[in-house]
Amino acid sequence: MDGMYSMAKRRRRLSPELEKNISLAKKQIELITAIIHDIDEEDIQEEYKSAFLPVMSTYMSLDQMYKELGINEDTTNLYELYLSNLEKFKSEYEL
């Protein structure tokens, strides 16, 4: 009987806490993106944009992976990476 269950597609494990954190991350990304777009000087704006890229791409990977796989070690690690990228960006760039 157990064999039948292993053939079935494993259900995505959901995490209300991680979902909330991803949602907060999305708001943070939108806010910082808006602030960067408000920078008048083009050179500085470009510098901020490229510095913010690791934060943005980590968030996008996290969001996508969570939607596909739910919570697992990889999504948890990606969230940690997002947080450390965000901290690094904030410590190096004034907003």
Tokens of 58: 């980590």
Whole-number Å distance between alpha carbons of 52 and 95:
11
What values do phi and psi take at 11, rounded to 5? Answer: -75, 145
CB 91 within 8 A of CB 75: no
H-run or E-run covering 38: none
Q: Which domain, by its residues, includes 57?
A: 16-92
- For residue 36, being part of any structural domain is answered with yes
- For residue 10, being part of any structural domain is answered with no
Q: Name the amino acid, one letter, at 28.
A: Q
- For residue 24, being part of any structural domain is answered with yes
- For residue 31, being part of any structural domain is answered with yes
Q: What is the pLDDT of residues 72-95, one digit of tens each?
A: 999 999 999 999 999 999 999 988
What is the value of pTM for the model shown?
Answer: 0.86
Q: What is the pLDDT of residues 31-65, one digit of tens each?
A: 999 999 999 999 999 999 999 999 999 999 999 99
For the chain, how big is the Rg over CA atoms in Å?
17
- For residue 66, being part of any structural domain is answered with yes
- For residue 4, being part of any structural domain is answered with no
- For residue 56, being part of any structural domain is answered with yes
